[in-house]
Amino acid sequence: DTEVTQTPKHLVMGMTNKKSLKCEQHMGHRAMYWYKQKAKKPPELMFVYSYEKLSINESVPSRFSPECPNSSLLNLHLHALQPEDSALYLCASSQGQAGNNEQFFGPGTRLTVL
């Protein structure tokens, strides 16, 4: 299994809703990532988990809350989002710190905040 899966594919939510994005990989990778990508822009790193611990938080607002329940799963909990948070949210994973360590990306969740 060489893929990263993300659910849901599309999500529409109001500013008062609470929702979660899910990401799963079964490649034995020990690093997992959340990126945010606005239209026609490159991905922006949000969070990195390494060995199930939060390693990097790129000063992301607290209305985004990551969670890594185990080495295969990564969640992003969303609460009280703003319309400008509408974007493609990409999950990625990589082996860890060694070697070329390419990141494998999931198909993304297209989020619309009304």
Binding site for other proteins (CB under 8 A): 31, 33, 40-43, 45, 48, 50, 55-56, 88, 90, 92, 94, 97, 100-108, 110
Residue placing its CB nearer to other proteins in the complex, 80 or 105? 105
Closest approach of Cβ 69 to other proteins, in Å? Answer: 20
**In whole angstroms, how large is the CA radius of gyration of the chain?**
13
Q: Which is nearer to other proteins, 40 or 84 (CB)?
A: 40
Residue type, 89: Y
Least distance (Å) between residue 100 CB and other proteins: 5
Between residues 6 and 113, which has the closer beta carbon with respect to other proteins? 6
Nearest distance from C-beta of residue 81 to other proteins, angstroms? 19
Which CB atom, from 18 or from 38, has the smaller least distance to other proteins?
A: 38
Contacts of 103 (CB under 8 A, 6+ apart): 33, 92, 93, 94
Beta strands in 40-108 (DSSP E): 44-50, 53-57, 64-70, 73-79, 87-94, 104-105
Q: Which amino acid is it at 108? A: G
Neighbours of 19 (CB within 10 A): 17
- Closest approach of other proteins to the CB of residue 37, in Å: 8
